[in-house]
Structure 1
Amino acid sequence: MTSPDDPTTDAEPDTPTTVSTAEREKDTGPPTTESTGAGRPVRILVAVMALLLIGTTGLAGVLGWQWKDRRDTDRAATAALAAAQQYAVALTSIDTIQMDADFAAIADGATGEFKNMYTRSAEHLKPLLAQAQSVSKGRVVAASIQSASRDRVVVMLFVDAEITNTTTPEPRLDRNRIIMTMDRVGDRWLAGEVELV
């Protein structure tokens, strides 16, 4: 018989208390990045890496565009320089025996206002050259590019022209310095401006 003061009389039998994992997670919730303390540095690192990636991609794009533009400009300058040298020879080589063909070649290599001006002046020059029996043979001594873009190139040329006519049957050497502006017209480089300096 037990005493009324015995604490074991009314007590529930000792049974292990079990709490399911779901209930524990319900009460406490899953561990968060805030609770672990690692979330903020990770987010900052991801943001920095994203910015670096965007910056690197942008820089690569700019450098790639600059490289392509430089390459295109160099190619344009090389082609225009060759065309200017050929045109300088045509411009300073006239033979009255084939004068019409020479003048046609000069007009064909020109463009814009220079072509218009040359076409107008050619009609006045032809009779004078024919009367003097003039012959000129041009030769490019040196040439260099002054400025260049993909559609316009300025070239300086040093051209010697050996000239004979009825008044000077012995060849006379005429030295010329020419500034020639070459313009891209379709797939050709044509002289848009020619200046003797």
Structure 2
Amino acid sequence: MNGMVSSGEGASGARRSAVDGDSVARASAPESKPVVKGIKGSGAGRASRLKTRWLGALAVAVVFGVAGLAFGGWLLFQQHQRNEAASQALAAARNYVVKLTNLDSDAVDARFGDILDGSTGEFRDSYGKSGQQLRQMVVDNQVHTRGSVVEAAVKSATANKVVVLMFVDESISNRNSPRSQIDHSRIKLTMVKLDGRWVARKVQLL
């Protein structure tokens, strides 16, 4: 009987030892972490968002770059127009002053016609009103004038309006003073573009 009890106790001890061993093995074994799904997907989404932002920033940069180039081109075009206007108006002003300062009593009508043709606005009106009186004075006194532009420069310029400053030397003779006298003048002309031509709107002695 004792032998049977001992055998039973031995079997029970063996079972407890096995159970305890399994428990120890489970306790000492590293826990397996649950697999987190979607990590790869989250990385791909983040990369996609970064790519979208980068493309958006690039698009904005391109737009601003194109706008900057367009604005720069417009400024260059405006400057080209001003330079071209200044050059053309300066040449026209020189020619016009030569007409103004070169009068001959023998050809006064043709000269007055040229002066009126090359003017507009304020100067044309005032010259037209005083023209007949001036013509008579030139004819009666046998006036001869010879003018030349010593120096000329553009003061300001837009595409359709240019202000020119000039230094002019003019020799004047008449019936009572046949010996020419030299007159030095400073003249300011406001030239405007009218029907494709540069004409004088204002002529001022300074």
Deviation at 1:35, TM superposition (A): 4.3
Quick check: which one's helix share is greater? 2
**Counterpart selection for 1:149 from 153, 158, 161:** 158
Task: Give the structure 1 partner of residue 101 of structure 2.
Answer: 92
Q: In structure 1, how many angstroms separate the alpha carbons of the residues matched to 2:177 and 2:89?
A: 35
Task: Give the structure 2 partner of residue 176 of structure 1.
Answer: 185
SS in 1 for 2:55: helix
Give the partner amino acid of 1:92: T
Q: In structure 1, how many angstroms separate the alpha carbons of the residues matched to 2:195 and 2:117?
A: 14
Deviation string 1:54-93 (CA, Å, 9 cap, x unpaired) is: 0000000100101011101100110000000000000111
Task: Give the structure 2 partner of residue 65 of structure 1.
Answer: 74
Deviation at 1:41, TM superposition (A): 1.4
SS in 2 for 1:38: helix
Deviation at 1:95, TM superposition (A): 0.2
In the alignment, is residue 56 of structure 1 matched against residue 79 of structure 2? no
Deviation at 1:130, TM superposition (A): 1.1
Q: In structure 2, how many angstroms separate the alpha carbons of the residues matched to 1:91 and 1:151?
A: 22
Bigger Rg over Cα: 2
Detail structure 1 runs of 4+ shifted over 4 Å in the superposition: none
Deviation at 1:40, TM superposition (A): 2.1
TM-score calculated relative to the size of structure 1: 0.82
Unaligned runs of 5+ in 2: 1-36
Q: In structure 2, how many angstroms separate the alpha carbons of the residues matched to 1:109 and 1:138?
A: 17
Q: In structure 1, how many angstroms separate the alpha carbons of the residues matched to 2:161 and 2:107?
A: 31
Deviation at 1:167, TM superposition (A): 2.0
In the alignment, is residue 111 of structure 1 matched against residue 116 of structure 2? no
Task: Give the structure 1 partner of residue 84 of structure 2.
Answer: 75
Size of the alignment, in residue pairs? 168
Unaligned runs of 5+ in 1: 1-27
In the alignment, is residue 40 of structure 1 matched against residue 49 of structure 2? yes
Task: Give the structure 2 partner of residue 122 of structure 1.
Answer: 131
SS in 1 for 2:140: helix
TM-score calculated relative to the size of structure 2: 0.79
Give the partner amino acid of 2:63: I
CA RMSD between the two structures: 1.4
SS in 1 for 2:116: helix
SS in 1 for 2:176: coil
